[in-house]
Amino acid sequence: MLQLICLPCVLLIRQTLLKQKSKKPLLLLLRLLLLLLLLLLLPLPLPLPRPLPQPLPLPLPLPLPLPLPLPLPLPLPVLLLLLLIVLLLLPLLLATATATATTATATAAATAACCCCF
């Protein structure tokens, strides 16, 4: 048997869903920023310079291969900027997570108290 849901329940559930949809881009942005931070922290190999063509030398012992150049560390201001962005977004995400939990609790309470929703 199909039961109808009263208007306050419908409005509350609709409001909850709309709030949840508006938070998705913020979570996506934070994930992208964290991924960017991880990628920037990974050492990237630098391309080796091409040796200049030289005339054929006389037979000499083989020279020792040069070690690969180490990648340059990321500049400190860039790391500080990324850290600042993440720290600014973190409280915002924590606030939205708390609001989502509160809204979900309110939705459940309103539905339980409703005369037509069981």
pLDDT tens, per residue, the chain with 118 residues: 344 556 666 666 666 666 665 556 667 677 767 766 666 666 655 566 666 666 665 565 556 565 656 565 667 777 778 788 877 877 777 776 666 666 666 555 555 555 555 5
Q: Count CB neighbours of 103 within 10 A.
A: 16
For residue 63, being part of any structural domain is answered with no
Please indicate, yes or no, if residue 34 is contained in any of the structural domains: yes
Closest of 4, 19, 36, 11 to residue 96, by C-alpha: 19
pLDDT at 2: 43
Distance CA 19, CA 13 (A): 10
Average pLDDT, the chain: 64
Number of domains, the chain: 1
The torsion angles phi and psi of 93, rounded to 5 degrees, stand at: -70, -40
Task: Give percent of the chain with pLDDT exceeding 70.
Answer: 20
For 36, 76, 86, 94, the CA distances from 89, given in Å and listed in that order, are 15, 20, 5, 9
pLDDT score for 1: 37
Collect all residues with Cβ–Cβ distance below 8 Å to 46 and sequence separation of at least 6.
Answer: 69, 71, 72
Is residue 17 assigned to a domain? Answer: no
- Structural domain range at position 85: 25-38+77-99
